[in-house]
Amino acid sequence: MFEHLVSFKFKGKLESQKEKELLETLRSFPRDIPGIVDLTAGINVTEETENIRGYTLGLRVTFVNRDALRQYGPHPAHQRFVRMLDGIIDEVIVVDYPVETR
């Protein structure tokens, strides 16, 4: 399996309706995109304010394998989400790694 972690930093504070729309779209991915084993997404509520650096939305997706992760990027559902970020996104951090099983 592969984990895909993403942190989003927006240009300004998002309205709650926009946050809800983004989260609903992300949470629809397992239904629409093959190869997703698990997905969580949410608004950052950390109390470690010195470490937040403006990143307010987090996403974790577990894929069945690396090929599923590779197919995710160009998938139409993912591309629709990317277009939703147009004009509002400042920075994104992405970390992908294989899941070690014991």
Q: Could you read off the pLDDT of 44-82 as tens digits, one per residue?
A: 887 777 666 888 999 999 999 999 999 999 999 999 999
CA distance 76 to 32: 9
- Strand 2-10 with 36-43, pairing: unpaired
What pLDDT is attached to residue 46?
74
**53, HSE (Cβ side, Cα atoms, 13 Å):** 8
Going along the chain from its start, the domains and CATH numbers come out as 2-91 (3.30.70.100)
